[in-house]
Amino acid sequence: MTIGKNLPPPFPRRIVPNKADLGDWSQLEPLFDLLDRAAPATASAMEEWLLDWNDLAAALAEEGSRRYVAMTCHTDDPACEKRFLHFIEEIEPRAKPRWQKLRTQYAALPAGRDLPRPRYFVLDRSIRNEVELFRPENVPLEKEEEKLCVEYQKLTGAMTVTFDGKERTLQQMAKYYDLIDRPLRRSAWGLVASRRLQDRQQLDDIFDRLLKLRQTQTQNAGCDDYRAYAFRRNERFDYGVKECEQFHAAVEKVVVPLHRRIQARRKKTLDLQPLRPWDLSVDPQGRPPLRPFQKAGQLVKGCTEILSRVHPEFGSLLAFLRQHSLLDLESRKGKAPGGYQAVLSEHRLPFIFMNAVGLQGDVSTLLHEAGHSVHSMECRQEPLLWYRQAGPEFAEVASMSMEHLGSDFYEVFYHAEEAKRARVKEVEEDIWLLCWIATVDAFQHWIYTHPGHRVEERQAAWLELHRRFGGIEDYSGYEDALKNGWHRQLHIFLYPFYYIEYGIALLGALQVWQAVQKDKAAGLAAFRRGL
C-alpha cells in the first residue's frame, strides 16, 4: 500500500543515504556505527551530532509509520502484516540497544552539560530518563507485546455482523443506534454486543499475555509495579498517582451526578421505564437522526469548510491531505478500529485514519484528528524530531480544541436547528467522556496494582467502576456485555495508561474554546503560539 501521492520532497537527509533500504539492518548498522564514533567535545558539536542522530531517527520513524498505517488500513492483507511484523521483529529489536548506546553516550559527554538549558532541558530530561529505564532483556518482550497488539487489531478488525441484509462492521452498526424505531435499535445493539462476546475468550487471552509481558518488563526495570514503570515510560514528570486519583474523585463528585441527571431527563422525555443501553443515542424528542454526510468526500468537503472558517490555513491543510491521499476515513471490513493521526517524520506531514459511517461523531473525529495535523504542521520547521511531538496531555489539547472550535460552524452540515442539536450533543458527550475517562483510567490503576488477578476479578472491578462512574441505563439480560465492555477500548490493550490525558486535555480545550469566544483573533493567536 502506498501512503500519500505526489508528496512534496522530504526534508534533506544528513547521514542517511537517499536510497537506503530502511528495512535492511545491514544498511542501518553502519549509520549507528557512524554516530557511535562521534565524540562531540563542544556544545556546538553536540548540537550537530544531535541533528545527525535526529536524521536517522526520523528516517526510521517514517518507515515504521508507513508500515503501521498500511497494516491498520488492511489488517486482512498478509503482505501488509508481514512488512510490519518484519519491522518490529527484525529492525526495532536491533535498533533499540543502539539508541540506548547513543543516549548513554550523550549522558556521559561533558559537552551535553554546556547545551543551552532553555532549549535542551526537556530533551535532556527525556534522554536521561530513558537511560535509567532501559533494560536489554526487555527488548524481546516489547517485540512480543507489539505482536500481540497486532493480533488484537486483526481480531477486532475482522468483527462484522449481518444486519438488514448486509455484512457490516461494528462501526457501521452505530448508525442504527439513533433511529426512532426502538425494537430495531435493540436488535442492532444486541447483535453487536453478541458479536463482541463471541471473541471475549480470545480477547481475555491476548490481554492476559500482555499483562505477563508487562509485569516481567516491570521486574526487569526494578519498579514496584507496572503502573510506576508506565508512568516513568510515559514521562509523567508533572503529576502522579495521587493527582490521577484526585481526578477520579472530582469526576465522581461533580460530573457523574450531572451525567445521570441528563440521562434521567432523557428517560423522562422518552417515557421509558427503564432506560436501556440502546436508548442513549436516539433523539429524546423523536426528531430524525443527525446525518451530516453519506460519503467520505462529503465529510472532507464539509470539515474543510469548517476548518477554513476557524482559520483559512486550517482548511487548506485538510484540502492538502485529501489532494495527496493522506486520508483513509471510511469504515470497512479488515480495517482496524478507532482513529489516529500518524506523522511521516521525514516529510513532516500528517496522515489521518478513522472509521467514518455517516454520523455526527465522525465530524467530531475528523476535526479531532485535523487538530493533531494542524499541530504537526505548526511544528514542521522544528529541526529536532523530539520537539515536533508534544506530550499527549498537550497533544490532545490541539485535537480537542479543534473539535470545539469547529462546532461553532456546524451549519456547514446542518440547518440551524440541527446544528444546535449537534452542539448540545457534543457538550453532553463531553460530560459522558469525563466519566468514561475516569472509568478507563481507574480500571488500569486496578489492573496493574493487582498482579495475578483472574478474569472474573477483572470483570468485577470493571462492574464496580461502572457503578461508580456509569450512567443509569439498565443492562438486565445483558450482564455479560456490561462486564466485558472494556474490551472495546483499544487503549487498554495497545497503549496502557494512555487515557487520562484526554481528560486533562479536555479541560484545556474548553478554555481555548472559551478564549476564542471572547476574542477570536487573540484566542486563535494564543492557541497557535501554544502549538
Convert the pLDDT of each residue in 123-145 to its tens digit.
Answer: 999 999 999 999 999 999 999 99
- Does residue 331 fall inside a structural domain? yes
- Does residue 269 fall inside a structural domain? yes
Q: Is it the case that residue 1 has pLDDT exceeding 70? A: no
d(CA 350, CA 330): 17
401 shares a domain with 374: yes
- Does residue 16 fall inside a structural domain? no
pLDDT averaged over every residue in the chain: 96
Supply 224's cell numbers. 514496584
pLDDT band at 2 (very low <50, low <70, confident <90, very high): confident
395 shares a domain with 434: no
283 shares a domain with 165: yes
34 shares a domain with 118: yes
323-346: pLDDT as tens digits: 999 999 999 999 999 999 999 999
488 shares a domain with 401: no
Q: For the chain, what is the domain count?
A: 3
Q: Tell me the DSSP string of 14-33.
A: SSS-TT--TT-HHHHHHHHH
- Does residue 517 fall inside a structural domain? no
203 shares a domain with 250: yes
- Does residue 529 fall inside a structural domain? no
53 shares a domain with 176: no
User: What are the phi and psi torsion angles at 160 (to 5°)?
Assistant: -140, 165
303 shares a domain with 407: yes
- Does residue 487 fall inside a structural domain? yes
State the pTM of this model.
0.94
Average pLDDT over residues 190-216: 98
Amino acid identity, position 346: E
Q: Which of 87, 103, 134 is the last residue of a domain?
A: 134
162 shares a domain with 115: no
Q: Is it the case that residue 517 has pLDDT exceeding 80? A: yes
185 shares a domain with 266: yes
First vs last Cα of the chain: how many Å apart?
A: 31
Q: Which of 353, 386, 413 is the last residue of a domain?
A: 413
310 shares a domain with 399: yes
Q: Which of 372, 388, 413 is the last residue of a domain?
A: 413
Amino acid identity, position 16: V
- Does residue 141 fall inside a structural domain? no
Residue 192: its pLDDT value, please? 98
306 shares a domain with 164: no
- Containing structural domain, residue 117: 25-134
Supply 410's cell numbers. 456546524
- Does residue 302 fall inside a structural domain? yes
Are 317 and 308 a contacting pair, CB within 8 Å?
A: no
Which of 64, 139, 58 has its CA nearest to residue 100?
A: 139
Average pLDDT over residues 286-310: 97
Look up the CATH number of the domain holding residue 271: 1.10.1370.30
Are 437 and 406 a contacting pair, CB within 8 Å?
A: no
